[in-house]
Amino acid sequence: MTGLHERHLAVSPAWLALYYRHPLELTHGEGRHVWDADGNRYLDFFGGILTTMTAHALPEVTKAVSEQAGRLIHSSTLYLNRPMVELAERIATLSGIPDARVFFTTSGTEANDTALLLATAYRGSNQILAMRNSYHGRSFSAVSITGNTSWSPTSLSPLQTLYVHGGVRSRGPYAELSDEHFIKACVADLEDLLGHTRNPAALIAEPVQGVGGFTAPPDGLYAAFREVLDRHGILWISDEVQTGWGRTGDHFWGWQAHAASGPPDILTFAKGIGNGMSIGGVVARADVMNCLDAKSISTFGGSPVTMAAGLANLSYLLEHDLQGNARRVGGLLIERLRAVGARSPAVREVRGRGLMIGIELVKPGTDEADPEAAAAVLEAARAGGLLIGKGGGHDTSVLRIAPPLSLTVAEAEEGAEILGEALHAAT
Ligand code: PMP
């Protein structure tokens, strides 16, 4: 009998990324834990970003999904369904965007694609400003605004993209600058770029870069950008696929760390909104959302089953103040990880906000990124019963930690300890 991995190789494209030398086959989950096909249990320090925002097998979401599945699964945006309208109303209000409209998709890629469709049509331009080291998805348009070269596999593009500084500053000429001078330098870079471009439609940015290695610019950067963009009529798209729903602890959306600038013109969301069910979407001001002059539908966007999951998940995380939990437990976790990191010469930096924490690895005694060490720590953590992620620029040397938002203090402490052992064993 052929193993699942061999069967997977036979049907899947070679470019599909897969973690671990011996890929992990998950069978079930509960709370902050998942189990593999061999019965091993893992504390899940990455599933919160992947899909499971709140907790695995959250009874409230399971109940909402199964009840709705028993009533009606059929839908397309050609018909109305109550959970879709209710979730749209709640997200419109939460977005902070005045007179907001919501369109549901099934992924972050499709959400960003829709945002680009709107921005380019609204502005009559296919020129897009994006951030260096960014990741926005895997469609033709999303890869062409992805600055992280290891995830933008083609140089062909339907858009003309110009990359702006600001998303990451841990290396290069900007590394030594204070927050204030960093912001000034990035604004000057943007102004310089706009001095010799025609008419960009929008700037798209992740408030904290996710795939790029959990790097956050100083608060206020996008407020400063906003002033420049407004002078040129350029829209601001905030890609909140990883930062939305309170993950960063201090704010419900990542853009709120730059609040002086007010809300973005367009906001995209996805990943854990449905606690594992496929929901993505776009929120925009009515004049932007309504600028298209032909009809369109989404067959699966806004499906009542996924919308029921989204509503149940949103209610749960608001009622249980999981944003506050991300701030409190995330604060403690980053402290513990800094203590653990201080004992390892391979750790260059432990950074993050709320439950979005990155640990950057280097070859000891140098400033050289160490992707092999990151891969080895991932394996060692798995052996210790902990799942984490990795990311960063093309060198993929950052360990990424993003547990479900219901993480407890005891689990944070346990995970930090396992990670400390993994760092010790693998670097
Ligand atoms: N934007 C960001 C910031 C992301 O992190 C991702 C997924 N890693 C996407 C967009 C694409 O989302 P999806 O995989 O659901 O298409």
List the one residue out of 417, 253, 395 whose CA is nearest residue 326. 253
* pLDDT at site 353: 95
Closest residue to atom 10 of ligand 1, CA basis: 136
Residue 135 CB partners (closer than 8 Å, separation 6+): 146, 148, 151, 206, 209, 210, 211, 212
**Averaged pLDDT score across all residues of the chain:** 95
Q: CA 345, CA 365: separation in Å to the nearest integer? A: 7
pLDDT digits (tens, 9 = 90+) for 10-51: 999 998 988 999 999 999 999 999 999 999 999 999 998 888
Closest CA to 48 of 253, 271, 328: 271
- End-to-end, the C-alpha distance of the chain in Å comes to 37
Instruction: Tell me, using a 6 A CB cutoff, whether residue 135 lines ligand 1.
Output: yes
User: pLDDT tens for residues 331-360?
Assistant: 999 999 999 999 999 999 999 999 999 999
pLDDT at 166 (0 to 100): 94
Distance (Å) from CA 71 to ligand 1 centroid: 31
Mutate to test the pocket of ligand 1, among 109, 208, 266 (most ligand atoms within 8 A of CB): 109
Which pLDDT score, from 0 to 100, does residue 174 have?
Answer: 87
Q: What is the pLDDT of residues 357-393, one digit of tens each?
A: 999 999 999 999 999 999 999 999 999 999 999 999 8
Distance 276 CA to ligand 1 centre (A): 14
pLDDT at position 2, please? Answer: 77
Q: What is the position in ligand 1's atom list of the atom closest to the CA of 278? A: 15
107 pLDDT exceeds 80?
yes
Question: Cα separation of 423 and 427, whole Å?
Answer: 6
pLDDT at 259: 85
Over pLDDT 70: what percentage of the chain?
Answer: 100
Q: Is the CB of 406 under 6 A from ligand 1?
A: no
- Decide the pairing of beta strands 356-361 and 398-401: antiparallel
Assess whether the C-beta atom of 241 lies below 6 angstroms from ligand 1: yes
User: What is the per-residue pLDDT for 170?
Assistant: 80
